[in-house]
Amino acid sequence: MLDIKKRDIRKKADQIRRNMRISNYGIMNLYKECESVGWKVIRYPLGENADLGFAMKKDKDIIIFTNSSSRLSREIFTLAHEIGHAVLHMDKMNSFIDNGLTLSDHNTDEREQEANYFAACLLMPEESVEKFMDIELLEEKQQGLTAIDIAKIMSEFNVSFEMVLNRLESIGKINSVEKAQLDNQKNEIRVRNLLKSAGGNATLNEPSNVLDIPYEYIEYVIYNYNHGAIPKETLVKALDCYKLTIDDVSDKINEPVEDDTDLDDLIGGLSD
């Protein structure tokens, strides 16, 4: 990416971030902030080997899906990446589906690189990282960063250990040798133990397995069932999110008929 394009992406990420609730340095809850700006977010545990997420435009709505079978820190980055697609690319394309390859730093697709950079700027803006390191990591200047320092940064910004290392390297806070050394420390101690030692949020290293479908999609689920686009099992799963049964919505249920609209296309295989 050209520097001028990176600057534009940083500006757009900063504009989004300014409207969000921040702790001392990091975004407090990116999922709730999406709700506050009107983006519709679906979370569903598809399994560890399934796609990580997608973003799509349906009519005037932006719909974002994340796979909650991922580690929470990974899922948060996926959400930020999909927000990047929504902000940067929805004028030309209506949907993006992402997996471990598309979110990789080694992906050469320009739009995926831009979405990754946007996510990094949204979650860990350079000035906030510098301020955290200056104020919160008192020993860092004398001794250099340790794996526990990385865990502290990870917990404050709600990101993965790997993302912290990548971001610190990209903004010139560590070099490739230091990055490898810190990664080795992580492998020896384990991230969960590092987070506990740092007094951080150990759940960042675990999948949340959250199932969260916005209530307005119940009508969409019923419509798809009535038109034969989804099986009864999917309808039951969706209704169960809200402690509803088919009997509770029986007045809206018809015999299924053929239709091209498919809810499973929207939420990445809910019925699997």
pLDDT at 4 over 60: yes
* pLDDT at residue 121 in the model: 97
Name the pLDDT band for 212 (thresholds 50, 70, 90): confident
Name the pLDDT band for 92 (thresholds 50, 70, 90): confident
Task: Give the pLDDT mean for 60-75.
Answer: 92
pTM value surpassing 0.85: no
Name the pLDDT band for 1 (thresholds 50, 70, 90): confident
* pLDDT at residue 256 in the model: 65
Name the pLDDT band for 268 (thresholds 50, 70, 90): very low
Domains of the chain are: 3-123 (1.10.10.2910), 126-205 (no CATH), 217-267 (no CATH)
Most confidently modeled range among 20-29, 100-109, 132-141, 235-244: 20-29
* pLDDT at residue 37 in the model: 80
Order across the sheet with 61-67: list the strands: 40-44, 61-67, 53-58, 95-98
Average pLDDT, the chain: 87
